[in-house]
Amino acid sequence: MDLTVRQETLVPQKKPRLVFTDIQRRTLMAIFKETKRPNKEMQNTIAEQLGLKASTVANFFMNARRRSLDKYMEDVGIQDDGPAATSLSYVNTPGLIQN
């Protein structure tokens, strides 16, 4: 393990961030458009074909689903301001019956 001396304390160096190649990124995005939740077997096959770790592929799909949800929420005008924002936003919507 690489260690760096920082103010007299040993600190492990950060692992470099993986950057997908163009073909890896395009392939993963194409699969994501067709299959939002590939099963473990499919993820392992994708990882093997693209020369990636299975955990990297799993993380890609998890992050892609999150980005997709964030974009949807942005498009419909819902903001995620943290846990308190999960309250029902339709309560004050005209035309809905309120108790």
What is the arithmetic mean of pLDDT over 70-89?
A: 66
Domain count, the chain: 1
Name the H helices within 1-99: 22-34, 40-50, 54-76
For residue 62, the one-letter residue type is M
State the pLDDT confidence band at 72, using cuts at 50, 70 and 90.
confident
Q: What is residue 11's three-state secondary structure?
A: strand
pLDDT at position 80 over 80:
no
pTM, to two decimals? 0.65
What is the residue range of 48's domain? 22-28+40-76
Q: What pLDDT, on a 0 to 100 scale, did the predictor assign at position 11? A: 80
Indicate the average pLDDT of the chain: 81
CATH number of 71's domain: 1.10.10.60
pLDDT at position 99 over 90:
no
